[in-house]
Amino acid sequence: MRFKIFSSLAAGLVLSAIGFYFAFRNVPLNLLAESLAEVNYLWLVPGAVVGLLSFAVRALRWRLILSSTLKLPFSSAFHPMMVGFMVNSVLPGRIGELARPAIIKKQDNVAFTLGLTTIAAERFLDAVTLIVLFAWVLATVHIDPGLQTEFRGRQLDRHTLESLSLALIRISVIAAAAVIAVSIPAVQRFVKKFILNAPSLFFPKDSRFAEKVRAKCCLPLTHILDNIAAGLSMVKQPGVLLFCVFYSFIIWLMQSLALYILSLGFPGFSLGFGEMTTVFIIICFFIMLPSVPGYWGLWEAGGVFAMALFGVASDLAAGFSLLSHVMLMFPVLFVGIYSAVVSGVNIFRISYEGIKRDQPEV
């Protein structure tokens, strides 16, 4: 089991090294070193604090999404969330998204599918927020169609951004339709009735085998459907939904603020908060592409591309992108480890053994 984790970490390190090569191969390393030598690193501290506070807001939002089904203390939402993000930062496959509901299932007896559905709701809110912010970027910033940078043989340009935006819109529309459908009681009843009656389509209605299939397969599926509906219950509470949307914008703007604070430590850096928000949103779209754990390399390539829109030299942009990534990533790693210790979570076990199918009795 540990061999699987260590091999995943090793693969992640190799892929990260490749990512760094493609992100920095066109950047003169001597100029990069010079730009980093002139930075006032004290600005990393307030930037990191603001970045971590955005995760506290994430915990508040997740707690609010769960509130219609379960009242969790802030710490019971914050620590599993930080463990999940920490796992995402070091292991491939975004396994941290599964670790979080596995933790609250174990610690707070929250059904796994309910927890996983609330995380899917979070991602939907994040996607909608990014779409809105990117629309603002396109309306206010001219992105030169000829401007591009390369990452692992892939050209990052305006076309890439627009393609990612369209893909995100399609996914969001499908997700919204599914959320609305699952939230309608009549639809829930119809689907559950169909599931329970499905064995009768293939076997005699009153046969023992049909009853066994209904008990072993159909009933658990109806429990899972109930948990999914409970996880999406915020859509039936306008006040809760409005606060969740508000929290979503605060989260992304706080991350942008963290980058802006760091930029104050770079001599000659003159980007304002609005421009830094644009940089961060573009980075967020680029890291949606398949990448290594923690987005190493792709984050930096996206930052170089985004800041080129505002005339920032590649060496300065590369240095800033690297430092901003470290500033936002390493505190998550440290706090995630602390949260695992405080929560008594065995990271090696929860990542690979704690992810099981939800049980109907939960």
pLDDT digit string, tens, across residues 182-218: 778 888 788 888 887 777 777 776 677 777 777 777 7
Burial of 185 (0-12, 13-18, 19+ CB in 10 A): exposed
DSSP 8-state symbol, 94: G
Element (H, E) at 37: helix 29-37
**Highest mean pLDDT, choosing among 59-73, 153-167, 342-356:** 59-73
For residue 326, is it within any domain? yes
For residue 231, is it within any domain? yes
Q: Is the pTM of the predicted complex or chain greater than 0.95?
A: no
What is the total count of domains within the chain? 1
Domain holding 301, by residue range, is 2-7+61-352
User: Does residue 17 register a pLDDT over 60?
Assistant: no
What's the average model confidence in pLDDT over 7-25? 49
- Rounded CA separation 57/41 (Å): 26
The three state secondary structure string of 126-159 is: HHHHHHHHHHHHHHHCCCCCCCEEEECCEEEEHH
Q: Report pLDDT for 32.
A: 59
- How many beta carbons lie within 10 A of that of residue 335, not counting itself? 19
- Which DSSP string corresponds to 183-251? H-HHHHHHHHHHHHHGGGGTS-TT-HHHHHHIIIIIHHHHHHHHHHHHHTGGGG-HHHHHHHHHHHHHH
- Rounded CA separation 245/191 (Å): 29
Element (H, E) at 282: helix 273-286
For residue 46, is it within any domain? no
For residue 26, is it within any domain? no
Q: Which residues contact 133 (CB under 8 A, 6 or more apart)?
A: 252, 277, 281
Structure tokens at 360: 């109907």
Are residues 209 and 203 in contact, defined by beta-carbon separation less than 8 angstroms? yes
Sign of CA dihedral 297, 326, 126, 335: positive
For residue 25, is it within any domain? no
What's the average model confidence in pLDDT over 259-285? 90
